[in-house]
Amino acid sequence: MWIVCVFNSKQAALTMAVAAALAWTPHLAALQAPALRVTPTGSALTEVLEAPLAETSSGTLEHAALNVTVYKLCPSSGSSDLVLRVFWEPSEYPGTFGLFRRMEIVRASDGRRIQVLEDPAATCFFGPDSFLELKDLNFDGNPDLKILTSSGSGGLCYDCWLYDPARGRFVFNLELTNLGNPDPDPETGQICAAGKNWMGRYRYLGGKLTLVWNKSEEWRAKGLFEVTEERVDGEMRVVKEELLEPSAAEIEDEP
């Protein structure tokens, strides 16, 4: 039905226009509602949640200026294989790759997106080999994500996301992320990690990530010691101490 209105004054026309706009506000809000973005505690990435995510095939028109690198995952359990599309912005400087912007996890069977991760800080993208590692971090037979978030003199640091077969998506894991660059060893069932002055090995005991061996450097009155600890009867105990560098006072006291 068409409604024709004739206005005798500009004021009346303006009043009707405002009323019409207010009447359409809920509909406009529904159409233009922004995607909900949730930053998991401790993660450098942002998880994007939006209604069309699991309903429509993902398009890449908004990423036309970005390069894309594709990875294929084959979980041992879950609905189907997954495809990871990593969008990164090419660098203006020769010899460098660029900046990571967005990752889309897509279900291979129907091409639907099941998860989107974004990086507000735009982490440096050094290439597919160093940026993303696909490893089974919790030894359940499914590939998990290690996503590079920073690099420097202390080494590389990754966000760790574990694949949840029940939900068919990846879940951020703070414990593994805090290790910086965890490296799982399937033969021993241990996860190795190292920092500037320490290295450790972890195991899942009772479903909880637990430190079982540790070697670190400590400054004491007599100098710099290398201390090795192992978990014995449920407790971490010192099993070895070695003086690496005596203090100046110790050197002066020597005959």
Tell me: the pLDDT tens digits for 31-71? 345 578 899 999 989 998 874 544 444 444 345 567 777 77
pTM score: 0.74
Tell me: the pLDDT tens digits for 190-208? 999 988 888 999 999 998 9
Tell me: the pLDDT tens digits for 86-107? 888 877 766 667 788 888 888 8
Domains and CATH numbers, the chain: 36-177 (2.40.128), 197-255 (no CATH)
User: Of the candidates 108, 91, 111, 92, which has an alpha carbon nearest to the alpha carbon of residue 100?
Assistant: 91
- With contact defined as beta carbons under 8 Å apart, do 135 and 146 qualify? yes
Q: Does residue 24 or residue 204 have the better pLDDT?
A: 204
Distance CA 236, CA 100 (A): 40
